[in-house]
Structure 1
Amino acid sequence: MAKSTGNTPVQKNEQLTIMIEDITHEGSGVGKVDGYPLFIPKTLPGEEAVIKVVKVNKNYGFGKLLELTKTSPERVDPTCHVYCGGCQLQHMSYALQLQMKQNQVHNVMKKIAHLEHVPVHPIIGMEDPSHYRNKIQIPVDEKNGELITGYYQKRSHRILQNQDTCYVHSHAMNEVLPFVRHLMNKHGVQAYDEKTHRGELRHIMIRTGHFTGEMMVVLVTRTAKLPGKERMIEELREKFPFIKSIVQNINDQRTNVILGKKTKVLWGASYIHDTIGDLTFAISPKSFYQVNPVQTKVLYDKALEYAAIDENDVVVDAYCGIGTISLFLAQKAKKVYGIEVVPEAIEDAKKNAERNGINNVTFTVGQAEKVMPTWKKEGLDPDVIVVDPPRKGCDQEFLDAMMAMKPKRIVYVSCNPSTLARDLRILEDGGYEAKEVQPVDMFPNTGHVEAVVLLDRIKRANND
């Protein structure tokens, strides 16, 4: 091993052999040199690796795997060798993936929430952890005069050329995507160039109804003009009869945001449909809808179990989106109030309620932390609050508003264990007790994990 000449035991570009002792929640192996941690992607605990040090910080560094001299029995041959950065766990067995995610949730409950006593149940995985995604958004570029599609290489804006078959995409999307690209090339559509702000096609989005088989194709363009669109529509319809909607979204801004404000239907319906349990939902280009429909049912069933509502209960569903959880709750509750800041989502939620014949739910546009204090003043005292926030978790103002309403139970659905643990600590200090945690694997082969937590209000002597 080369000797270090700096303040750290390793230097950039140094090659060394190292034992992998642990793994991060993102799936990188962790080895140590004189106590100094190095994070090495594509390695597993128990492996011996020859690595090159590519970055050195004061307290930790990063390495690149050159060769494995000892492999873990949990290593598997990746189905996809592209390694776009999306499926960063595909080199490890599914059993180890589940264990890693279980440990992640358990660790944040202990280290961030300081709730060592709260049981974290075994994670619920998938019987078949492949081809589960019902939505893709693929960037478009140009190479040698032709359109190419594929995901960006990790930490770059370089597209990995024509990545047509993806292990996590649905089979139907893997068939449709290359044909759409073929049509674009055939009809002379130019790829958008983000440097010059020229060209036409920016992204291709495909959404599917897992249980209905319906598909929507969304062409995201810089311009309203789209060469050959009439003929492209005919060819798409002829080859794939399950396509029910072809949509153009126009985004003329210099931005990394994928969808623009203007959307027009080129052919078919403005929605496709899918089902979760007994409920049917309409999905538009901008609808938030969980990307793994099989595990969504598992997640929502657990949330409904924890809510333990009956026909006398009033429920608030914060961050309700298009009403998916709200309508599940409404099947059991006396009344459900859903809040969502996106007006289009609330319109979709209302239509979904009507579509399913559910009339004991009210949807309101607004920020939950602003709406809930008003409801409190008006005398609304919910028995249960269900919250499913974005990755950043809940703002303090929202947590304060939720605790002020004093529901007997809170069900917290989270896609980020770290912010979940942070918020649970606040709720515990505010008079609620976390009773149990159920992790759910919504995104196999990635480092992401969801969890559902049940919290009960602590009964005090003054009945507060």
Structure 2
Amino acid sequence: MTNNIKDKNSQESIRLEISEFNSDGSCNSELEGKKFKVFGAIPGEIVLVNIVKEFSDFTVVNVSKVLKSSPNRIEPPCEFYLLCSGCQFQHLDYEFQLKLKTKIVTEEILKNENFKHVEILNTIRSDKLYHYRNHARFTISKKPPLRGNLGFVNKFSRKIFKINKCLLMDHKINYLIKLIQGKLIGMSQLSIRVGANSGFALIQPDFQDIFSEIKSGQKKITEYFLGNPFRIGSPSFFQVNTKQAEKLSELLVEHLSLDGSEMVLDTYCGVGVFSVLLAPFVKNVVGIEISDSAIEDAIFNSRHLDNVEFIKDSTEEALKKLDFHPDIVILDPPRSGCKKNVLDSLKLIKPKKILMISCDLESFMRDTEILCMNDYQLKLVQPVDMFPNTKHIEIFGVLEKLN
């Protein structure tokens, strides 16, 4: 059979044979010298695809029909799958998703010859495959025919797709979507955060003058995390999967092997979750946070503890002025990872143990490789499935100071 590449304006699909996965959740394929990134496919499959967007060196396509199916394929339950581009793995059996994420992390780590000794554990599964997200940001269309409707923007086509629900979102968020859909004319963005354990909701911005049937404009929310109440301000960061974040926190305490004498430095500490949870088991905890909102929340959340304090500053600046030597440092940086001067400062501070938490494998590898240049050894890596049905992987790493 001759395979022909159809014009992108044609209604006919392209037939492709699928090879390996990419880090963005797509699979590779080639045809007549052209490279394709195929979303919704599995290696070994033969599929028909439709063009989403053409770039100079590759073309992004979505699967429209499966001609030869992988045994790991399941039917995606979401009617908007691949259209909104938020999920990449809904078509994968969950056991296969977990194995794939473990494989991705393992292969990346073992590329470094110095990491051949690292213990890499299997990805920790999520109890919930759907309805786990406690926070969502929606785009609201200002143009007919979708004016006033909220949805998601496809990252390739940049089109807004109106939704009536998102299967990743907490049920309370989907309930609110149904009530306000089509009513927020004149707005462009909407943020909804709910407490998975508390049931409270925080909706921003305030739209009472447009639609008053739902209370909006709340400044903060209370959420219970491993039984502890935490205040979370509207701009403050908080993990989107509460249950998996609780597992991650328990993992952190487990791998510290605390005896009560430790001085802990909690960098990029947000609303102080790790600081508050560790306080009963250590001598002192100092948290560092640059966000005004988050540092206020952290101080409030730790008000009952006398061995916790916080520094309002960037991590890179705070480390330069640190007046004590922590035994343990927790690094939980943004997706972009740590700035180099943070890593340089840590080499001077010389904590006995560093616990690295990252939602980006590339920045995790870059930062750990720098720390492990003659100073630290990466001992253990634990992937955590914080984001089921997506490409994203949370990574937990333990580094120990070399003698």
More displaced stretch, 33-42 vs 203-212: 33-42
* Alpha-carbon offset, residue 328 of structure 1: 1.4
More displaced stretch, 44-53 vs 310-319: 44-53
The aligned counterpart of 1:23 is 21
**Residue pair 2:87, 2:389 contacting (<8 A) in 1 also:** yes
Does 2:247 correspond to 1:298? Answer: yes
**Residue pair 1:25, 1:101 contacting (<8 A) in 2 also:** no
Does 2:193 correspond to 1:207? Answer: yes
Which residue of 313, 323, 336 corresponds with 2:262? 313
* Alpha-carbon offset, residue 63 of structure 1: 4.2
More displaced stretch, 427-436 vs 140-149: 140-149
* Alpha-carbon offset, residue 215 of structure 1: 1.4
The aligned counterpart of 2:173 is 173
TM-score, with length taken from structure 1: 0.79
Does 2:279 correspond to 1:278? Answer: no
Alpha-carbon distance between aligned partners in 2 of 1:220 and 1:202, rounded to the nearest angstrom:
12
Read off the aligned partner of 2:360 and give its amino acid letter. N
More displaced stretch, 406-415 vs 79-88: 79-88
Read off the aligned partner of 1:152 and give its amino acid letter. V
Matched residue SS, 1:389: coil
Which residue of 74, 79, 82 corresponds with 2:80? 82
The aligned counterpart of 1:386 is 330
Alpha-carbon distance between aligned partners in 2 of 1:102 and 1:444, rounded to the nearest angstrom:
13
Task: State the percentage of identical aligned residues.
Answer: 30
Alpha-carbon distance between aligned partners in 1 of 2:316 and 2:64, rounded to the nearest angstrom:
50
Alpha-carbon distance between aligned partners in 1 of 2:206 and 2:307, rounded to the nearest angstrom:
37
The aligned counterpart of 2:281 is 332
Which residue of 186, 210, 214 corresponds with 1:236? 214
Does 2:78 correspond to 1:131? Answer: no
**Residue pair 1:130, 1:168 contacting (<8 A) in 2 also:** yes
Write the mapping of 1:13-412 to structure 2, written as runs, cut at 5 A.
17-33=15-31, 38-51=36-49, 55=54, 57=56, 61-83=59-81, 84-111=84-111, 114-142=114-142, 143-144=144-145, 146-161=147-162, 163-181=163-181, 185=183, 190-191=185-186, 201-219=187-205, 227=209, 232=212, 235-236=213-214, 246-247=216-217, 265=218, 270-354=219-303, 357-375=304-322, 378=323, 380-412=324-356
**Residue pair 2:381, 2:398 contacting (<8 A) in 1 also:** yes
* Alpha-carbon offset, residue 455 of structure 1: 0.7
Read off the aligned partner of 2:123 and give its amino acid letter. I
Distance 1:62 1:152, change over 3 A: closer
Distance 1:156 1:17, change over 3 A: closer
Matched residue SS, 1:123: coil
Please list the CA deviations of residues 142-162 of structure 1 after superposition, one character each: whole Å capped at 9, or x if unmatched.
43485211111232443212x
Count of aligned pairs between the two proteins: 396
* Alpha-carbon offset, residue 454 of structure 1: 0.6
* Alpha-carbon offset, residue 25 of structure 1: 2.5
The aligned counterpart of 1:445 is 389
Alpha-carbon distance between aligned partners in 2 of 1:66 and 1:82, rounded to the nearest angstrom:
13
Matched residue SS, 2:383: strand
Read off the aligned partner of 1:148 and give its amino acid letter. N
* Alpha-carbon offset, residue 3 of structure 1: 8.4
Read off the aligned partner of 1:424 and give its amino acid letter. T
Specify every segment of 5 or more residues in structure 1 that has no aligned partner in the other structure, as ranges: 5-9, 192-200, 238-245, 248-264, 460-464
Please list the CA deviations of residues 338-379 of structure 1 after superposition, one character each: whole Å capped at 9, or x if unmatched.
01111221111000101xx2221110011222212221xx3x
* Alpha-carbon offset, residue 320 of structure 1: 0.5
* Alpha-carbon offset, residue 179 of structure 1: 1.0
* Alpha-carbon offset, residue 406 of structure 1: 0.8
* Alpha-carbon offset, residue 34 of structure 1: 8.3
Distance 1:27 1:404, change over 3 A: same
Alpha-carbon distance between aligned partners in 2 of 1:125 and 1:92, rounded to the nearest angstrom:
14
* Alpha-carbon offset, residue 140 of structure 1: 1.1
Matched residue SS, 1:147: coil
Matched residue SS, 2:391: coil
* Alpha-carbon offset, residue 227 of structure 1: 3.1
**Residue pair 2:19, 2:29 contacting (<8 A) in 1 also:** yes
Alpha-carbon distance between aligned partners in 1 of 2:293 and 2:235, rounded to the nearest angstrom:
8
Read off the aligned partner of 1:216 and give its amino acid letter. L
Alpha-carbon distance between aligned partners in 1 of 2:256 and 2:138, rounded to the nearest angstrom:
37
The aligned counterpart of 1:257 is none
Distance 1:139 1:374, change over 3 A: same
